Amino acid sequence: MFSCGSTKWLASTICSRQTPELCLAAVQQDGLALEYVPEELMTPELCLAAVRENGNVLEYVPEELKTPEICLAAVQENWNALRYVPEELKTPELCMAAVRRNGDALRFVPKKLRTPELCLAAVQQNGYALRFVPKKLRTPELCLDAVQQNGYALGYVPKKLRTPELCLATVQKYGYALRDVPKELQAYVQQNLS
């Protein structure tokens, strides 16, 4: 095992020798080594191996090597890699794979791809992702799913949808959500807590 910081040294040492085999071994050990691979040795296979080890290294994959397969592998390894996927490669399927890993990936989904189904999958995985759901898609059902998964989502439920029942159900499960209950409903919620 290498100590902290040794990966950078190892990667730069191995990749400075500029053999494809050593570069592949380096990225398989630590995907971050891709940052130190000389451009002339970058191949789709090498990039795929790197993102399978660490999805966020998609950032270091040259744009011309970012394929749907490499982007999907990166997102499957780490949802946050969606931020490094070129807009033209962000498909509904790729975005769904990301939000199923973590609903917060919705922040990197183009607005035109934020469908009711995608937003529902996002809030079911992480209710707090409601903050990235377009306001026109925040239905009572979607908001209920969001607050049932994460009480903090109540702060992103439109005020007109914060019904006494929704607020009570949220506070019963997540007491801290009382802070987001409208003042005119707080007495009702407190009286009906069991």
Q: Which long-range contacts (CB under 8 A, 24 or more apart) does 50-56 make?
A: 51/77, 51/81, 52/77, 53/27, 53/28, 53/29, 53/77, 54/30, 54/78, 55/31, 55/79, 55/80, 55/81, 56/31, 56/80, 56/81, 56/84
Output the pLDDT for position 2: 43
Question: Two tokens at 137?
Answer: 């898609």
**pLDDT-flagged residues of the chain (< 70):** 1-17
* Segments making up each domain of the chain, as ranges: 1-81
Are the C-beta atoms of 113 and 92 separated by less than 8 Å?
Answer: yes
Alpha carbon distance, N-terminus to C-terminus of the chain? 53
Encode pLDDT of 8-56 as tens digits.
Answer: 665 555 555 678 999 999 999 999 999 999 989 999 999 999 999 999 9
